[in-house]
């Protein structure tokens, strides 16, 4: 009986240490929603370029680029809002507080530094009209951001990062299919990971 109590005590200590060193309020549903947003964004860009904007219509490339960047920024904004709201709801459900403590700060720094670097590089490529590698750069740096941030949240997040990184590297060797790779990486991969995450973590706690 004492042995069982010791094991239970050690398990509780381990759980408390994990919670104190990792941000565990992320939700699998948020990954699914982010994936859906990305697919809708990719579908919107495809519609604009292949259906609405015909070659005979005189719309210059900078204008088209501004519209696409606007769509991407809008998707990023609603994705961040969705992640925050669902994380807040999950934290409340588990009687926890979603606060900006040292762990959350480390997670944000480790995640957003590679992401910001990738964003600046993409902006530089676009400003010099090097459009071909922008989707691969996005995927590569997003993968690095996930791998870097996984140290301070669920460790299996790094596998999504590895998948994004590999897809971005493959994309860099294939020309003309950037939108497809973008939809797979930010859309399909997120939905698959979100479903796995939800079934593995979220549903078990209900």
Q: Where are the domains positioned within the chain? A: 28-205
Statement: residue 21 has pLDDT above 80: no
Statement: residue 34 has pLDDT above 70: yes
In this prediction, residue 121 carries a pLDDT of: 94
Statement: residue 197 has pLDDT above 80: yes
In this prediction, residue 18 carries a pLDDT of: 45
Statement: residue 82 has pLDDT above 50: yes
> Per residue in 36-68, pLDDT tens?
999 999 999 888 877 766 654 444 566 777 788
Determine the Cα–Cα distance for residues 103 and 95; give it in Å rounded to an integer.
18
């Amino acid at each position: 009986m004492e042995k069982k109590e010791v094991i239970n005590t050690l398990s509780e200590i381990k759980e408390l240490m994990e919670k104190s060193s990792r941000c565990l309020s992320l939700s699998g549903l948020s990954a699914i929603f982010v994936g859906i947003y990305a697919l809708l964004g990719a579908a919107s860009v495809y519609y604009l370029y292949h259906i609405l904007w015909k070659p005979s219509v005189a719309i210059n490339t900078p204008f088209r680029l501004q519209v696409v960047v606007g769509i991407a920024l809008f998707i990023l904004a609603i994705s961040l809002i969705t992640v925050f709201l669902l994380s807040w709801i999950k934290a409340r459900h588990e009687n926890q507080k979603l606060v900006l403590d040292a762990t959350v700060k480390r997670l944000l720094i480790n995640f957003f530094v590679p992401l910001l670097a990738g964003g600046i590089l993409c902006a530089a490529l676009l400003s010099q009209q090097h459009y071909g590698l922008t989707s691969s750069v996005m995927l590569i740096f997003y993968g690095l951001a996930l791998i870097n941030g996984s140290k301070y949240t669920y460790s299996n997040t790094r596998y999504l990062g590895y998948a994004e990184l590999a897809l971005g590297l493959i994309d860099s060797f294939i020309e003309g299919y950037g939108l497809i790779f973008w939809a797979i990486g930010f859309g399909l991969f997120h939905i698959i990971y979100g479903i796995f995450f939800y079934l593995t973590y979220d549903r078990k706690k209900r």
